[in-house]
Structure formats: C-alpha cells, structure tokens
Homo-oligomer: A and B are copies of this chain.
Amino acid sequence: MKTCIVRKGLPRIDAIPKVSGEAQYTVDLKMPGLLVGKILRSPHAHARIKSIDTSAAKALDGVLAVITAEDVPENLFAFYQWQADKHILCTDRVRYVGDEVAAVAAMDDDTAEAALDLIKVEYEALPVILDIDEAMKPGAQLIHEGKESNSTWSVDRLFGDPDKALAECDYVVEGTYVTHQLAHCCLEVSNCIAKWDKRDKLTIWTNAQAPHTQRQEVARVLGIPRRNVRIINSTMGGGFGSKLVMDMKLPIASVLSRLTGRPVRIVNTRSEEFTTAKTRYPYTLHLKTGATKDGKILVRDLTLIGDNGAYHDKGPATINFSSMMFGTLYNVPNIRFHGELVYTNKAMGTAFRGFGNPQVTFATESQIDELAEKMGMDPLELRRRNVNHPDETAACGAEVCGCAMSECMELAAKEIGWEEKRGKGAPLRGVGLANMVHTGGGGRFYGFNSAEAIIKLSDEGTVTLITSALDMGQGAHTAMAQIAAEELGVRLEDINVLSHDTELTPYDLGSWGSRATFMNGNAVLAAAEDARQSLVEAAAEMLEADPADILVEESKVWVKGSHEKHDLSEVVDHTVNEHGEPISGIGRFVDHLPEGYTIPTAFAKNIPCFSFGTQAVEVEVDPETGQVNVLRVVAAHETGTTINQTMAEGQLEGSMAQGIGFALMERLVHDDEGRIVNDRFLDYKIPNIGDVPEMKAYCVESVGTRGPFGAKGIGEPGLVPTAPAIANAIYDAIGVRLHEVPMTREQIIKALKEKRASET
C-alpha cells in the first residue's frame, strides 16, 4: 500500500501545546464565579452513619453550600443500572474508606477544607471485609443489606465438553493464580467543573474517556433529561480505564452548582486519586489446562473470582471480556469458564487497560509453561502447536480474520535469543515468552459498536475534522488526523480536530477496548471519502478534466499525466469563494450484528477484530535480595497497518512499562481497617526510568481486518503478556514458579527457600 501520511512516525498534533504548557486541562480553566468544591469522605471501611451535623460548616464565612444525602436525588447508580447500588452521597452507611458522605462549595481551597473539618459525622462501626474468601463465607456480614450474599454476579460459558476432554488428555496441569488491586496512576487526577445554568442546562467540563455515556450516567443519577446535560472534555492526562464510568464528583459538583448558581470545580487530591478513583479488578483464578501428548491443547477450565470492591462498576463487562479472550487464545475446543464478582469493603474496581485480560493471561500463559515443563516440551514449541490462524472461527465463536500470531511469536523468540538462551543461559538469568490476543476494535458490549465523523473543508484548504475519537493522551486525534489527511490527500498540519463535546460530536461509546483507531478511524475514513469525492469533482470542474483523472496528494492537485500541480488551496478557494460550495462529508461505521447471533454461544462475535502479539523477556534474579532485573523486553504486536509508527511503538513501550509494574511492583496495600497505606507515588511503586529496561517494540503488519487502511487498535495489548513472560523468565532463571502478581522480592525469597527445602 502506497501511503503518504499513514504509516509514518509523524509527531503528534498536540505535541507543542502539551510541551509548551498551552494545553488546557480542567484545572487550567477559568470562569467567572468559579467555586471550589470538596468532598467529605468516609474514614471507615464499613460503618453506619448515625448523624451528620453540617451547621458549623454552613456558618463558616465563604462557604456557599454544604450538602449531604438529603440534598441529592435518591437514585441509586451503577454503570449497569440493573446493578445500581451506590448513592451520590451515602445515606445511612459507608462501605469503603473514601465513600462520599458530604460535600461543600466555597470561595477557595482553604475555606472548603476548613468547612469539611467542621462537618460532624457520627459513625457506628460495622465488621470490615477485605478478602473475597471471608466475604463468601456463609453468614458473612452483608456489605449491601437485602442481598442474599456478598457474591453479587456470575457468568458461565461452556464450549465443547471439558470433562470428556480432560479425561482424554495425556497431561493436565492445575493451579491458582492471584492478582491484586492496582491504581491507574494517571498523571492527571479525576476532576470536573459543573455549571448548572439558568436554562436548567448542566454543562460539565471534565476528563472523561466516554463523554456521551457519562452524560447519560449523570442524567440518570440526577434524574434529569439527558438532553439537558452537556459534557465537554478538556485536554486529558491519561485514562487507562479509570475515567470511563462517571465519578460521583460529577453529580456532586452539579448539585453544588445548582444550589449556588455558580460553576463548581472538584479536583481529586493525589491521595483521593489513589484511594477512590477505582482500581483494576483483582482476580483469583483457578485454572486447569489439558493437552494430548503431541502437544494439542484440548481443554481449559477456569474459575475466576473477581473482587468487586464496595460497589458495582464495570465488573460484569470485565469478566465477560476475560472470558472472550480466554476462549479465543489458541482456539481451544473445550472451554469452561466460571466468573464471579464478590463485594468487599474496598474501593470499587473498574475498567483498566487490558480489561481483565492481563489477569487471565498471567494465569493461562504461566500455565502453558507449566504444562510444557510437565510434558518435557519446549514452551515455544507447545505454543507453535496451538497458534491461532487467520480466518478461523474459534470454538467460542470468535471470528479471527486477520491474525499474525505465528509471525509475532517467531519474531519475539528470535529477537530475545530463545534458541541460545532458553534453559541454557547464564546462571540466574532466564528468558520467558508469552502470547496474547486482544480486541483491536472495542466490542459490541453496549449492544452495538459504531462511530460517526464529519469533515468540512473551508477556504484555503482548512480541514476541520469532527470526531468522537476520545484522546485521553494516547494520540487518538493524531491518528484520526492522519487517516483524514491520507484519504483527502492533504498535509497533516492542515487538519484541525474538533472533539470532546457531547453537543458537537456524534454519539459515541468513547475510548476503551483499543477501539478508537478501528471504529472512529473507520468513520473518519468514510467521512474523508465522502469529502474527497466533492473535492475531486471541484478540481475536475476547475481544471476542466475528468474526475477520474484527478490526483490529490500532500495538498497538491493535478490531472493525471500533467506536470502542472496546483495547491489544494486553489481548488478549495475556487469552489468555496467562487461558487460558494464548501466541501464536506459525513461518514459512519457500524459493526453490524452478525446473522444468527446469539449470546452466549457466539458471545465473542462481539469483537470486530482481534489483535495478537507476543512478548519475550530476559531477566536476572538476585537470589539474596529477591530482586528481579528485567534486562530486555521484546514485543511483537500485530497492528494490521501501523497508522503512526512512533505512536504505536510508544503505546507498546508504555504498556510494557505498565506490564512490568503489574508483574513486579504495583499493588494497593490495605491495613486491617481497610485503609490504603500507599496512597502516594512515594509509597506506591511504579516503574521509573531506572526500572525500565531496553525495550524493542515491533509493529507486525497483517492483512484481513476491516480497520481503516487495515489498522487495528494497539492501545492495550502491550500490557497483556508482560507479566507471564516475566514469570516464565524467572522460572527459567531460578526454577521457581510464582502464581501471584506483583512478584515481589519477598515472594521470590520465600519461593527460593521453599524450593531449597523441597530439594533437600
């Protein structure tokens, strides 16, 4: 494919505003009468609220409003309304440390803080449950009264006959794998400004990954028409899933604004961000994998308990997505999957880059190595015998069209030096490898998956692209601009992207599930095709040529065979300023329901495009300190067509760093009373520049997908296989198998001690 703009490693279109400080985040916004809002949060993980006295706070000079549950609608909220379990402000009970109890609006920060201190809340402590096993015990304290148990949701998937298959297998391995609560660690904390105006319209400026659905959520929880709510996104400093579902500060700031008649801004402190901005769902996974002696994996059986935290959010979607990826990878013919969510008195889980896949892949790809070990087979060879193939339909129903799994795996293995190093490296050094599959275009999780875009060309070739592609920092706007520029034949710098406003942009599900490039990209491409047609017609008219002979490239227009190139601006100027005919286009992409689609037999058909990949790592372990040094990571991930080489590599590199954190460092740690003790970056360890090793990211192009120019999403995959690759490398280095992430120094030392004990 000849391309001018797409496939290049062009600088991001928002690079300069971001490095120069011109980009406006919500905290940078100024508006007349803006008030400071702050939230009083529960210091208890579980307690009854006996009384709240706000009189002293209300009496404080500079305080304009103090609200409690009495001042807000009683509507219960959850992402899925059928799971609604959370009030805007707690009524009679708090369920985790950080739960919203009251809120104030004041003239400035200090006054707001002082007002919070003046609110007197009397609590009566209730038993605190931090552990899923304890939560599931018969007779355990119910975290939500009226429910039958703390187990709050479950799903089962069955394909083939796992029991029969297990009986037929020559080798079966079984194990339990554990992951914990992680923070998203966005550089920008959750925040918003709400302004409820005199026309009864509510405008919210915030950093949302999905403004349109959050708009619905705000309307729902406040009990107002959706059409009265507008969400405008400022520049965003990261999302990673944490900003997908509405935070309670949005309705809280809204109510404060309605009461005061002024805009109200609420911004998380970093501690609030760590303790209340939701977490990755911790999974406890009990997994069995069975294979024949020639290395064909026949069956996988997984029971997965997710720690839901205190309230519902994206749990069912996360576990369902886990099941889809679990069912698709290696196309195992017999699959059993049981997923369950259990309430605890901790911050709630939510979406987090990878969406349940890193947890499951840690288990499955660790166990492949365990299985290979048991079979005496090279784990790479075992994987080779089970790779996914292009154009296959998996037993779970997934339609794998484009697929470059083999290419990714062989490339990563070669680049890490698998043949030379595996099982025969230097002492205390080892290599490991893991595969993964992920969606490359979101999914039909809301019942549909679609996108729309609008393009207008104005005088002198100014191109405005109105897209719902949500740029939370990942570069979606640059990718959209490249797609539009490529198709229109204009320079990248001539594309201006307008986005991030529910009034302006077409209804859209937001950025998640590596969705934007594939879905919004296809819509942008369609809009550009539409506009290009008018552009070509205008050029043909101006140049007195056949439209079929018009060529447009890099903002130059010419007639095939002619050497006279015209600047695009001449054509647009001509049609706009002489004929008054602006050039515009609307494009749409809908991932239509397949024929005969039924849930659950073909639930993985929800995924419009799969993206495979492999990571291989080399580690060195210090047996004295338990320190694992990751020496090198090689990532080979399928991109279909790489829209922007630099950004794709950046996505992969960032993901790998996050994967290293997931594998070795990151975990929110609670004390016995349910307080998170590491609520700042000094205590919550993420990889820093010294922890990040040499990385090599390969974007493997492949054919067969319906993405724009053949592209797939690459936002999440790079995080998925890192942890099992490291676990497998640790095993290669020191012969111990860790089943829990983060794989801390303590765990390494303990495992080595156990290994030595068992060997003696």
Contact = CB atoms under 8 A, between A and B. Distances in A.
Interface stretch (A145-153, A277-285, A453-461): A453-461
Nearest to A449: B580
A466 B456 CA distance: 12
Interface in A574-588: 576-582, 584, 586, 588
A233 to B, nearest CB: 16
Given A20-B198, A226-B462, A227-B460, A581 B588 contact: yes
A216 interface: yes
A464 B591 contact: no
A554 interface: no
A498 B507 contact: no
A464 B212 contact: no
Given A16-B198, A225-B460, A227-B461, A584 B454 contact: yes
Given A198-B22, A584-B506, A584-B586, A448 B226 contact: no
Contacts of A447: 577-578, 580
A452 interface: yes
A459 B214 CA distance: 12
A494 interface: yes
A98 B254 CA distance: 47
Contacts of A20: 197-198
A13 to B, nearest CB: 8
A526 B660 CA distance: 56
Interface in A412-454: 446-450, 452, 454
Interface stretch (A27-35, A79-87, A707-715): A27-35
Q: Which of A24, A447, A462, A504 has the most CB of B within 10 A?
A: A462
Interface string A4-37: 0000000000001100101010001011100000
Contacts of A197: 16-17, 20, 22
A580 B461 contact: no
Interface string A206-244: 000000100010010000011100100000000000000
Given A447-B577, A459-B216, A503 B507 contact: no
Given A30-B32, A31-B30, A226-B460, A199 B16 contact: yes
Contact of A581 (B16, B225, B584, B590): B590
A17 B199 contact: yes
Contacts of A32: 24, 28, 30
Q: Which of A31, A466, A502, A503 has the most CB of B within 10 A?
A: A503
Contacts of A219: 460
A496 interface: yes
A167 to B, nearest CB: 43
Contact of A582 (B30, B452, B494, B498): B452
Interface in A496-525: 496, 498, 502-504, 506-507
A498 B20 CA distance: 29
A459 B577 contact: no
Q: How large is the interface on A (under 10, 10 to 19, 20 to 34, 35 or more residues)?
A: 35 or more
A608 to B, nearest CB: 12
A194 to B, nearest CB: 14
A212 B504 contact: no
Given A199-B16, A578-B447, A504 B226 contact: no
A458 to B, nearest CB: 4
Nearest to A34: B30
A526 to B, nearest CB: 12
A504 B502 contact: no
Contacts of A212: 458-459
Contacts of A31: 30
A459 B226 contact: yes
Given A199-B16, A199-B17, A580-B590, A507 B459 contact: yes
A449 B225 CA distance: 39
A250 to B, nearest CB: 17
A197 to B, nearest CB: 5
B494 A504 contact: no
Contacts of A226: 459-460, 462
A268 B226 CA distance: 41
Contact of A507 (B22, B24, B452, B458): B458
Given A16-B198, A17-B199, A198-B16, A590 B586 contact: no
Nearest to A448: B580
A222 to B, nearest CB: 14
A460 B197 CA distance: 20
B507 A504 contact: no
A506 B24 CA distance: 25
Contacts of A230: 496
What are the nearest 3 A-B pairs in CB distance? A450-B580, A448-B580, A30-B30
28 contacts: A17-B198, A22-B197, A30-B31, A30-B32, A212-B458, A212-B459, A216-B460, A219-B460, A225-B460, A226-B459, A227-B460, A227-B496, A446-B577, A447-B578, A448-B577, A448-B579, A449-B580, A454-B584, A459-B507, A462-B502, A462-B503, A464-B503, A464-B504, A466-B504, A506-B584, A581-B590, A584-B586, A586-B586
Given A448-B579, A454-B456, A466-B504, 5 more contacts: A219-B460, A447-B580, A448-B578, A496-B503, A586-B586
